[in-house]
Structure 1
Amino acid sequence: MENKSFTETKVSSEVIFEGHIVKLERDVVTLPNGKETTREVIRHKGAACVVPLMDDYKVVVVRQFRYPFGKVLTEIPAGKMDEGEEPHECALRELKEETGIIPEKLVYIGDLYPSPAYDDEVIHMYIAMDLKFVEPKLDADEFLEVVQMPYQDLKRDVIIGEICDAKTQAAFLKTDYMLFHQKKK
């Protein structure tokens, strides 16, 4: 197979917008063929998400209104990383804040690039097990419902497209594979 470079090289960059969660940049890049074009890139600090798996094989999910889609979505607990925060710290913080869960075991299962064509966000995915429940501490602007969903119901809803959230789909399907389909060594 021929060794080709697909690398694009940044020539210049301009910040178009800087908000609390994202920054939008317009970059001029040189393509592999030498021509120039523009790329609009959303810069994001990153996030973590968690599949909280109970001993009875229920998964703790949250239901919350998502403004861009104008409806309530079912998702696994997640949130953006604070400045200087490690991904596992973010996962533990968000899990406790949103659901009141403190896990005995937190297992890293990989990273997700939700929209790599225009966004540099990385979502770090985890499974939480051996769960202890305390009082959740939602942010002042956070409104959600915590639901314990039977594992097979969540699996069905992901497969049939009832749950469309990318991080929930990816993290849950990885969890399912790791728990039930990966060959034991």
Structure 2
Amino acid sequence: MMEIFRGRRLWIEKTNVRFPNGVEAEKVTVHPGTAVAILPVTPSGYKILRQYRYAIGQYIYEAPAGTMEQGEDPLTTAHRELIEEAGVAAGTMIPRGFIYTTPGFTDEKIWLFEASDLSPSHEFEKDADEVIEVIDITRDEITAMIADGRITDAKTICLFQRCKGE
């Protein structure tokens, strides 16, 4: 293993790998850490974010989400990130499993949660580099936005699919 890069949030390594079929190859893996995504449920629908993402140079609609801190469990992270990003606290937080984002080159795992019994939080404090607008949206609106391509964020689409049957 050879470390290529180590930053505050992620690290990248190059490794020689032997696959189950015996083939050997050199592969690069990105390790961004484990994260959570939360779908806040309101009486009329959901709260989602319109957030600027520098990597794609545009605003995107997405569920509140964030990276787990060292030693933090997914549920604790979900409660913290919901307050930090959406300004609400959840009385109920239901685990909805997890997803691997792009397992072809990263081991990133995102734990999914459905949040309800929401109340405004006085601990709301966005990071300085976050450009976020919290939007209230109905179930029909989010379904239409996923169908017509206005919502393209994979974790948000997966999370909505996991939550909508309940």
Task: Answer yes or no: is 1:61 the counterpart of 2:51.
Answer: no
Q: What does 1:31-180 align with in structure 2 at a 5 Å threshold?
A: 31-56=19-44, 58-135=45-122, 136-177=124-165, 179=166
Mapped contact 2:52–2:130 kept (Cα < 8 A) = no
* Superposition misfits of 4+ residues, deviation over 4 angstroms: none
Per-residue deviation, 1:141: 2.0
Per-residue deviation, 1:85: 0.7
Per-residue deviation, 1:31: 2.6
Amino acid at match of 1:116: P
**Structure 1 unaligned residues grouped into runs of 5+:** 1-12, 180-185
Q: In 1, distance between residues paired with 2:7 and 2:66?
A: 16
Residues 33 and 127 of structure 1, relative CA distance in 2, 3 Å threshold: closer
Larger RCO (CA under 8 A, 6+ residues apart): 2
Per-residue deviation, 1:68: 1.4
Report how many residues are paired. 165
Q: Secondary structure at the match of 1:167?
A: helix
Q: Secondary structure at the match of 2:125?
A: coil
Q: Secondary structure at the match of 1:69?
A: coil
**Structure 2 unaligned residues grouped into runs of 5+:** none
Amino acid at match of 2:84: E
User: What is the aligned-residue RMSD (CA, Å)?
Assistant: 1.1
Q: Secondary structure at the match of 1:68?
A: coil
Per-residue deviation, 1:34: 3.0
Task: Answer yes or no: is 1:18 the counterpart of 2:3.
Answer: no
Q: In 2, distance between residues paired with 1:167 and 1:153?
A: 17
Structure-1-length-normalised TM-score: 0.85
Q: In 2, distance between residues paired with 1:106 and 1:46?
A: 18
Per-residue deviation, 1:160: 2.2
Q: In 1, distance between residues paired with 2:39 and 2:109?
A: 17
| 1:93-121 per-position Cα deviation (integer Å, ceiling 9, x unaligned) | 01001111111100000101010111001
Per-residue deviation, 1:78: 0.4
How many percent of aligned residue pairs carry the same amino acid? Answer: 32
